[in-house]
Structure 1
Amino acid sequence: MLLSQDPGISVVAEAADERQAVQRVAECRPDVVLLEAGLTELVQELDRAVPNPPAAVVYGIEAMTPERLADLVRGNVRGVVHRAAAHDDVIHAVHAVLHDGGFASPELTGCLLQAVRAGSMPLGVDHRFRELLTERENGVLSLLCQGLSNKAIAAALCVTEKTVKFHVSNVLAKSGVSTRAQLIAAMGSFTTAHGRHSLGAQSA
């Protein structure tokens, strides 16, 4: 009901259980799937069962270890909403993910930072991959790692959003990870661990 009230969001399906959820996603191919905290295992099931699974927003999180939260981000979860968050945060999370961004409730950012410091976030990105990037791609990567959406990156670089999407796709392909969240987490982990690799934007 909450999502249906937002003119920018179309609810295309609902599911009563995990099996039905997988079926609905396969049939309707939504851009985002919204999951209760108790259904986080469904993220892995969707990865296995659906080609190009939708990004996930998990809401209602109350207590979670940094390791578990890192596991979600390693999957296709791009938004995490705390149980105590305002209802509007669910809408904000869905919109952020729809626009290729991410969202984390303030109550969960400390947990995310602990995961980064502990090395629990994905470290599969060799920082030397940046040497494979063009100057423009490095600039996009820097802004992406600041949490900017494609629209915001386009405005900052004075290019079209379509051009940004093209560059982001190239950056992900060269990095070896599949999602923005994984890349941001990995670059954040590397920067935290080594502290000497600047993510400052470069001019084109």
Structure 2
Amino acid sequence: MVSVLLADDHALVRSGFAMVLSVAEDLHVVGQAANGQEAVDLVTTGDVDVVLMDVQMPVMDGIEATRRIVEAGGTKVIILTTFDRDDYLFAALRAGASGFLLKNADPDDLIAAVHAVADGHALLAPEATLKVIRQLTDHNAHPPAPAGQAPGGHAPGGQAPTAEQPRETDPDGSAVPAAATVEPTTSAGLDAEDQRMIDTLTHRESEVLTLMAQGMSNAEIAQKLFLGSATIKTHVSNLLAKTGSRDRVQAVVFAYRTGLVRGV
């Protein structure tokens, strides 16, 4: 049984979500909060697996509430939004939310989202998450070039140095082509820790992260790269550890924030 807390300052919205979740026998709404502080208090004093969190609420907004709940550990947060404040949504992801949905999502999608997050997966709704991440991190992916230097870190009129790259192998033993198929990042504008984490990624891990950022599941990535699902799962686990990401959402945020993947 998955215990769910509803946090929204509109009672009618909470009632609607509670009615939707009631059709799933393994989901149980254990409480309702009218603001972020109430949500934090209820999570602290009760056994809550997943919180459906609004962003704009009185007393304490959903972003700060999400940060406190995630820091306490043990409870996952899904942001539910009307999508009218993209900056709030990205801040919520940075605070540790496991994903978000639009409030007009189909009832089946809401139930599936709660199940997915409760099972430890991150929720990347294609119509919302990717648009927000790309929109809010694009400026970080395109920092201005230093004076006297062309974009990409090369001198004006100069060419990027070339070098033969060593071949890598996947966990299943298959060779990885030396030619890169992901857009290289630039060190401009990155702090040393971000650059260190990027440098630890293998070519294949960077490729998998790029496809994750496009909203692909492990099965879709495996099909795209002609690899086994277990191999992709290993790559995902490795890149999560190397980038210090708690889940797939945080890894995709990292990819766009650092410029490893470019916004569109």
Q: What TM-score comes out, normalization by structure 1 length?
A: 0.66
- Aligned partner of 2:65: which letter? L
Q: What RMSD in Å do the two structures reach over aligned CA positions?
A: 3.7
Could you tell me how far apart the structure 2 residues matched to 1:160 and 1:107 are?
A: 28
Shift of 1:184: 0.6
- Which residue does the alignment assign to 1:104? 125
1:146 aligns with 2:214: yes
1:78 to 50, 73, 98: 98
Q: Retained in 2: the 8 A contact 1:141–1:168?
A: yes
- Which residue does the alignment assign to 2:14? none
Q: How many residue pairs end up in the alignment? A: 185
Q: Which runs of 5+ in 1 are unaligned?
A: 196-204
1:61 aligns with 2:79: no
Q: Retained in 2: the 8 A contact 1:57–1:79?
A: yes
Could you tell me how far apart the structure 2 residues matched to 1:105 and 1:145 are?
A: 10
Shift of 1:107: 5.9
Q: Which runs of 4+ in 1 moved over 6 A?
A: none
2:262 to 187, 192, 199: 192
| SS of match in other structure, 2:66 | helix
C-alpha distance 100-157 of structure 1, shift in aligned 2 (>3 A)? farther
Could you tell me how far apart the structure 2 residues matched to 1:93 and 1:178 are?
A: 18
- Aligned partner of 2:255: which letter? M
Shift of 1:46: 1.1
- Aligned partner of 1:141: which letter? L
- Which residue does the alignment assign to 2:178? none
Whichever structure has more helix as a proportion of its residues is 1
Q: Retained in 1: the 8 A contact 2:79–2:99?
A: yes
Superposed CA deviations along residues 18-67 of structure 1, whole A, max 9, x for unmatched, are: 4553344344251x32112335131022134x1x2433112142520x33
- Which residue does the alignment assign to 1:118? 139
Percent identical pairs in the alignment equals 29
- Which residue does the alignment assign to 2:40? 22
Shift of 1:170: 3.2
1:87 aligns with 2:107: yes
Could you tell me how far apart the structure 1 residues matched to 2:254 and 2:203 are?
A: 20
Superposed CA deviations along residues 80-132 of structure 1, whole A, max 9, x for unmatched, are: 22334433442343344345232337367544432122339xx7773553442
C-alpha distance 16-175 of structure 1, shift in aligned 2 (>3 A)? closer
| SS of match in other structure, 1:147 | coil
- Aligned partner of 2:106: which letter? A
- Aligned partner of 1:132: which letter? T
- Which residue does the alignment assign to 1:47? 70
C-alpha distance 46-167 of structure 1, shift in aligned 2 (>3 A)? same
| SS of match in other structure, 1:71 | helix
Q: Which structure's CA Rg is the greater one? A: 2
1:174 aligns with 2:247: no
Q: Which runs of 5+ in 2 are unaligned?
A: 1-18, 142-189
Larger RCO, structure (CA 8 Å, separation 6 or more)? 1
Q: After alignment, is 74-83 or 13-22 more displaced?
A: 13-22
C-alpha distance 82-99 of structure 1, shift in aligned 2 (>3 A)? same
Shift of 1:174: 1.5
Could you tell me how far apart the structure 1 residues matched to 2:218 and 2:121 are?
A: 6
Q: Retained in 2: the 8 A contact 1:137–1:171?
A: yes
